[in-house]
Amino acid sequence: MMRSYCRSHLRTLEDEAVHILRELAAERERPCLLFSGGKDSIVLLRLAEKAFRPARFPFPLLHVDTGHNFPETLEYRDRRVAELGERLVVASVQDSIDKGRVTEETGPRASRNRLQTTTLLDAIEDQQFDAAIGGARRDEERARAKERIFSHRDEFGQWDPKNQRPELWALYNGRVRRGEHMRVFPLSNWTELDVWQYIALEDIPLPALYFAHQREVFERDGMLYASNPHIKLLPGERIRTEVVRFRTIGDMTCTGAVASDARTLEAVIAEVAAARITERGATRADDRFTEAAMEDRKREGYF
Amino acid sequence: MSDASDRPPERPNDRLDERLSERLAASRRPVVGVADDAELLRFSTAGSVDDGKSTLIGRLLYDTKTVFEDQVRHVEDVSRRRGDERVNLALLTDGLRAEREQGITIDVAYRYFATRKRKFVIADTPGHIQYTRNMVTGASTASLAIILVDARHGMVEQSRRHAFIASLLRIPHLVFAVNKMDLVDWSETRFEEIEDEFRNFAARLDVQDIAFIPISALTGANVVEHSRDTPWYHGPTLLYHLETVHIASDRNLIDVRFPVQRVIRPESAEFPDYRGYAGQVAGGVLRPGDEIVALPSGLSTRITRIEQLGQDLDAAFPPMSVTVHLADDLDVSRGDLLCRPNNQPIVGQDLDAMVCWMSERPLAARGRYAIKHTTRWGRAVVTDLLYRLDVNTGHRDEAAPELKLNDLGRIRLRTTTPILYDPYRRNRMTGSFILVDEANNTTVAAGMLLAPE
Ligand SMILES: Nc1nc2c(ncn2[C@@H]2O[C@H](COP(=O)(O)OP(=O)(O)O)[C@@H](O)[C@H]2O)c(=O)[nH]1
């Protein structure tokens, strides 16, 4: 009997990501996996299981904790880490502030988003990580569209978009000099919809924040934010209760919610497929300020 | 790399229509969801500056509802701020700031869109000769290449180069999108002229499948919908072609090739004796029970089990990432390769290859580099530069003393350890390699192995 040996797009993306993780594990001695508690890094964990089980992961998880996380994110993180039996390293932005490495922003629009870069780079240096696996996707933002899967960072943790290594076939070059590191993005070729479809296909549990729930929110710059202790309201802003869900999960101070009544994965997928606004455009205040916001942050060493 | 001399000529005045976004919006298809079992097609796009590549990609993204409102708004804002009189859709597909400022796509940028039938990854590559390396990069993972041709100009030097690179990188499917048909009065004769010209040229190339489609990226003719302006054209629209071109047999399903990426040995209380060989299938179909040989040791054994995270599989084929278990405890490690006893790859230390040179520092005979081939690193010395290939004419310059950035050429290498390979034309995964400069760790060459003489 002839078989067609077809492979679906989701499985093809999975094959690629697993291959990337295994290459990284061979190419670098001290990698870590950046775990934010967001859906992309949750998918990374599943892919790491596919790549390395029944052995342990050849890297710890690194969480850059801004101190402004949703409590649901931290609960999820701790539960997942316990289930997997893997090592978690937490790098805290509060520590960086206390040590004087960074200065807390002030004012009602203050965010610790930008400060994370220093905390991350310090952690990479302290722990002597020579690679960090991230969940970034090329479809998220234009500056990412040209970033390599194995993306080189110099000794200052910076990305040089004009001077990237050519990346051919699936032959990744993970070589670095002392003090430099690699960022590795196994989900480069995934879209937001792929991530959701894969979560459904693999039946991966998610933090409840991703599904529609009642929450106290206020509106700012046309976006809904969760009412939270780290943010001061501007004149005219009022707290109200809405049914919302989050499309991305970052800091409480800069991650917007969308009005939605999608309470199941199927409903979320239907919404994502129909969405008319990008994930970051809809919910991330950090990308809205300047035309090249992301590109600037990435050069400095952001995720 | 991108000083003023790289700048393309000024664009002509036929800017995008003012109300393009409105027209595009009106032509937008209803919401689509991608089927779970949709296949993935990777394709590259190449064209000379101003052939309409950005407009075409913009239209594909837009008509498949991949461009979001905030992105369109953003592009409108930027166009206005820059003082462009019209919305410039190219901004949708131009990534980095320096490139945006220069108004030219330099690097390879990846874009994504999907229809119900397929998910697409576009490697959007620049067309200028000084970006040959970017074209080669984009082509390396593509199953199909779209080459844009301006209907008014027909085949120009750049189109020949693009087709040549596609054939060299063995992209199995080529599509000549003859664009700006609106500017030649939708002339069937003109289209046929161009088709003839290309077919004559392409006869010398090694491409399995070539299609010609008359389009207008601007009006959308034959991109997603058939156009009434070309009643004489009965072929598929570009999108339909992308959705249906047969890609399943592009993979090598005959020669079993399994480069071992990692040996999984938990050595835990729960799995004291577990030993699995993890990797991505590079060719053929593996099944439990199959006799195999491990190379380079040459020892043979049997596959007892193929799994993925504890799930047993009855077959593994490209591009699956799996873990294979063997009947005997052979000394197999990363960089080794599993194959069938009666179908083995070439084992050699003297390699013949075509390379694309990607570094500012030229390749010279006697140059020493690190080489990565499948999952194996080694060292190589260039023993001979046979010729430099003129990508525009196909002429072989045997007197060339070196290969410079963006040059293609044929070389001979000697490696420190044997390489287990197939000719690139037989298998793109086991026939390709990269060279890395050990002084600064940059990737300096892409190589395609040839059968030994
Ligand atoms: N008349 C006409 N103009 C087109 C067509 N496609 C693109 N253009 C115009 O050609 C110019 C160059 O297009 P662009 O997409 O920027 O070309 P690129 O340099 O190949 O990316 C722009 O002014 C477009 O509006 C077409 O099908 N018909």
Q: Do β-strands B432-436 and A61-65 pair in parallel, antiparallel, or remain unpaired?
A: unpaired
Identify all chain B residues contacting A165, using CB atoms and an 8 Å cutoff. Answer: 441-443
Nearest CA in chain A to B253: A5
Nearest CA among A162, A169, A188, A148 for reference residue B136: A169
Nearest CA among B183, B143, B178 for reference residue B56: B178
How close B261 gets to chain A, by Cα (Å)?
A: 7
Is the pLDDT score of B6 beyond 60? no
Determine the average pLDDT of the residues in B411-432. 96
Nearest ligand 1 atom, CA B57: 15
Is the pLDDT score of B87 beyond 70? no
Entry pTM:
0.89
Distance (angstroms) between ligand 1 centre and the Cα of B52 equals: 4
Is the pLDDT score of B402 beyond 80? yes
Nearest CA in chain B to A149: B110
Name the more confident of A281 and A68.
A68
Pick from A42-51, A101-110, A208-217, A243-252: least confident: A101-110
Q: Which residues contact A35 (CB under 8 A, 6 or more apart)?
A: A41, A44, A45, A61, A62, A63, A77, A88
Nearest CA in chain A to B444: A166
| CB of B15 sitting under 6 A from ligand 1 | yes
* pLDDT grade for B34, boundaries at 50, 70 and 90: low
| CB of B109 sitting under 6 A from ligand 1 | no
d(CA B213, CA A99): 63
The protein residue whose alpha carbon is closest to atom 22 in ligand 1 is: B15
DSSP SS3 for B21: helix
Pick from A292-301, B136-145, B267-276, B396-405: least confident: A292-301
* Three-class HEC string of chain A: CCCCCCCCHHHHHHHHHHHHHHHHHHHCCCEEEECCCCHHHHHHHHHHHHHHCCCCCCCCEEEEECCCCCHHHHHHHHHHHHHHCCCEEEEEHHHHHHCCCCCCCCCCCCCCCCCHHHHHHHHHHHCCCCEEECCCCHHHCHHHHHCCCEEEECCCCCCCHHHCCCCECCECCCCCCCCCEEEECCCCCCCHHHHHHHHHHHCCCCCHHHCCEEEEEEEECCEEEECCCCCCCCCCCCCEEEEEEECCCCCCCCEEEEECCCCCHHHHHHHHHHCCCCHHHHHEHHHCCCCCHHHHHHHHCCC
pLDDT at site A286: 46
Q: Determine whether the interchain pair B434/A177 forms a contact, defined as Cβ–Cβ distance below 8 Å.
A: no
How close A246 gets to chain B, by Cα (Å)?
A: 18
Across the interface, of B38, B110, B262, the residue whose CB is closest to A26 is B262
d(CA A249, CA A263): 17
Q: Determine whether the interchain pair A273/B71 forms a contact, defined as Cβ–Cβ distance below 8 Å.
A: no
pLDDT at site A131: 95
Pick from A153-162, B77-86, B210-219: least confident: B77-86
Nearest CA among B240, B242, B284 for reference residue B259: B284
Pick from A74-78, A141-145, B118-122, B327-331: least confident: A141-145
Distance (angstroms) between ligand 1 centre and the Cα of B297 equals: 57
Determine the average pLDDT of the residues in B408-428. 96
Is the pLDDT score of A9 beyond 80? yes
| CB of B218 sitting under 6 A from ligand 1 | yes
B103 Rama class: left (phi>0) / alpha (psi -120 to 50) / beta: left
Mean pLDDT for chain B overall: 86
Nearest CA among B375, B364, B370, B353 for reference residue B429: B375
Suggest the residue from A146, A190, A258, A287 to mutate for an interface test with chain B (most B CBs closer than 10 A): A146
d(CA A241, CA A227): 10
Two tokens at A287?
């990308």
CA angle B414, B420, B421 (to 5 degrees): 90
The secondary structure of B216-261 as a DSSP string is BTTTTBTTTB--TT-TT--S--HHHHHHHS--GGGS--SS-BEE--
Is the pLDDT score of B25 beyond 50? no
Distance (angstroms) between ligand 1 centre and the Cα of B51 equals: 6
pLDDT at site B296: 94
Two tokens at B437?
């400069």
pLDDT at site A297: 58
Is the pLDDT score of B73 beyond 80? no
pLDDT at site B365: 80
* pLDDT grade for A275, boundaries at 50, 70 and 90: low
d(CA B306, CA B284): 14
Distance (angstroms) between ligand 1 centre and the Cα of B89 equals: 9
* pLDDT grade for B4, boundaries at 50, 70 and 90: very low
pLDDT at site B91: 67
Q: What phi and psi, each to the nearest 5 degrees, are found at residue B202? A: -70, -20
Determine the average pLDDT of the residues in A175-187. 94
Q: Cβ of A249: how many Cβ atoms within 10 Å? A: 24
Suggest the residue from B262, B317, B371 to mutate for an interface test with chain A (most A CBs closer than 10 A): B262
B343 secondary structure, DSSP code: B
Mutate to test the pocket of ligand 1, among B44, B48, B50, B216 (most ligand atoms within 8 A of CB): B50
Most confident of A228-232, B59-63, B179-183: B179-183
pLDDT at site B17: 37
Q: Which residues, listed in sequence order, are joined to residue B434 by a DSSP beta bridge?
A: B372, B446
Q: Do β-strands B346-357 and B443-449 pair in parallel, antiparallel, or remain unpaired?
A: antiparallel
In chain A, what percentage of residues exceed pLDDT 90?
A: 42
Q: Determine whether the interchain pair A3/B137 forms a contact, defined as Cβ–Cβ distance below 8 Å.
A: no
Is the pLDDT score of A180 beyond 80? yes
Q: What phi and psi, each to the nearest 5 degrees, are found at residue B151? A: -55, -25
pLDDT at site B145: 96
| CB of B179 sitting under 6 A from ligand 1 | yes
d(CA A123, CA A108): 28
Name the more confident of A176 and A146.
A176
Q: Determine whether the interchain pair A168/B137 forms a contact, defined as Cβ–Cβ distance below 8 Å.
A: yes
Asked if B191 contacts B227 with a C-beta cutoff of 8 angstroms, the reply is no
pLDDT at site B61: 83
Determine the average pLDDT of the residues in B237-264. 95
Residues in chain A: 303
Q: Which residues contact B189 (CB under 8 A, 6 or more apart)?
A: none
Task: Summarize pLDDT for A240-250 with one digit per residue, the tens.
Answer: 998 989 887 77
Mutate to test the pocket of ligand 1, among B17, B54, B55, B105 (most ligand atoms within 8 A of CB): B55
Nearest CA in chain A to B70: A277
Pick from B71-85, B124-138, B267-281, B283-297: least confident: B71-85
Pick from A253-267, B357-371, B433-447: least confident: A253-267
The protein residue whose alpha carbon is closest to atom 14 in ligand 1 is: B52
d(CA B51, CA B148): 6
pLDDT at site B386: 96
Task: Summarize pLDDT for A47-56 with one digit per residue, the tens.
Answer: 999 999 999 9
Q: How far is CA B222 from CA A242, B139, B179, B181, in A?
A: 45, 24, 10, 10
pLDDT at site A271: 81
Task: Indicate if the alpha-carbon torsion angle A82, A88, A92, A93 is positive or negative.
Answer: negative
